[in-house]
Structure formats: structure tokens, C-alpha cells
Structure 1
Amino acid sequence: MNKEDFDEIIRRSMKIRQEYHELELQHHGSKWTVEEDALAYLTDAGLVGRNIMSEQQRWPKAGSKDELEHKLGENIWWLIVLAERSGIDIKDAINNFLTKTDAALG
């Protein structure tokens, strides 16, 4: 994936988030806060864990590969949204993490 592809993913992610904000305004009279977004992300992160456990037959619910794929994508989407709403460039964040971790390991 090149930089332009990731930029497009970020743009699309934030467009979708804006559309959800509009629904929140219609249904609740206010947009979700960053804290509410973080809680939603944590909920979906937990569902990734449950889907992985199910896939490995370590959880009784029979999850599907499609459901796991959806939740993995949704978690990446939430991380992009949280970074943007927190004023953090997600591309810099992942690059800095990888650089520091590579250096620490090797």
C-alpha cells in the first residue's frame, strides 16, 4: 500500500465518521465525544478477541471469517478516527512505533 492509498483510507474513514455524527445528532441531539468513540472502539476490540477465540474453537459461539474480517477492519477504522480526533497523524504514529520497536529489538 502506498501513501496515497492510506491517505484515501483516512479520508474515507473520516467521511463515514461524519455520517455517523449526523445520525447521532438525529437520534440523540449531540455527536459522540472522543470518549464515547474510545469506548465503542474498546467494545469492538473485545469482539475481535471473541471472534478469534471462536475461530480457534476456544469459544462456543460459531463466528465466521467474514465477521472477523469485518471487526478487524472496523477496529482499524476506529483507530484512524481516534487518532484524527486526537490530533495525531496515524501514519506518523505507526511509523514511529515501528521504528522504535525495530530499534529496541534489534
Structure 2
Amino acid sequence: MDMTELETRSKQIRTAYHQLEMQQDGRPWTTEQDALAFMSDAGIVSRLIMDQVGSWPQSQSEFTLDYKIAESIWWLLSIADSTNIDIEKALENFLVSREKHLN
């Protein structure tokens, strides 16, 4: 799957969730709420990693590490979209910057 397809599918899913938020809250979530949801999922990634290496009591989470990592990527794609960031360009710029830094 290429980046364009990831972005398109992520945007479609986020749009569908906005409809659910309208039913629940009377309005779609803000970018700030999306960022908070991402941080919550990033925290779960950390707990699942700690569980995996044995430094946290075994989780009873219904989610797996790969699922939560993927969800975190989805949140980042959604946040980039809502803030008009070209995620592919941003990632390329970041990688070039780090490659230059390490050389």
C-alpha cells in the first residue's frame, strides 16, 4: 500500500468517525481532541511494549501492539490532514535531515 492510499483511506475513516462524534457530542472532534486521542493510544503502545518485555504486569487489553501502532499512525495521518501538512513531504524532509545529521 502506498502513502496516497493510506492517506485516502485514513481520511475516509476519520470522516466516518466525525459522523459518530456528531451523534455523540453534537459536533466533530477538534484537532486538539484528535491529538489527545493519539497521545492516549501512544501511551497504550508504551504499556504494551512494557508488557512484552516483562516490566509491566501482563495487560488484559483487547488490543495488540501491532493494532495500536497502526492506530497511532492513523491518528498522525488524520492530524496531518487536519493541519494541512503534506505527511509524505514532511516525512521525506525529516528523513533527509536525519541522514545528513548522521553523515
Q: What's the TM-score bracket when you normalise by the shorter of the two chains?
A: over 0.9
Q: Quick check: 1:27 aligned with 2:24?
A: yes
The CA RMSD measured in Å over matched residues stands at: 1.4
Q: Choose the corresponding residue for 1:85, options 67, 82, 85.
A: 82
Query: TM-score of the superposition, structure 2-length normalised?
Result: 0.94
Consecutive unaligned residues of structure 2, counting only runs of 5 or more, are none
Moved over 4 A (4+): none
Equivalence for 2:40:
43
Q: Quick check: 1:18 aligned with 2:15?
A: yes
The equivalences for 1:56-95 within 5 A come to 56-62=53-59, 67-95=64-92
Query: TM-score of the superposition, structure 1-length normalised?
Result: 0.91
Counterpart-to-counterpart distance in 2, 1:17 and 1:37: 10
For this pair of structures, how many residues does the alignment match?
Answer: 102
Q: What is the letter of the counterpart of residue 90 of structure 1?
A: I
Structure with the greater relative contact order (CA < 8 A, sep ≥ 6): 1 or 2? 2
Consecutive unaligned residues of structure 1, counting only runs of 5 or more, are none
Shift of 1:63: 6.1
Shift of 1:62: 3.5
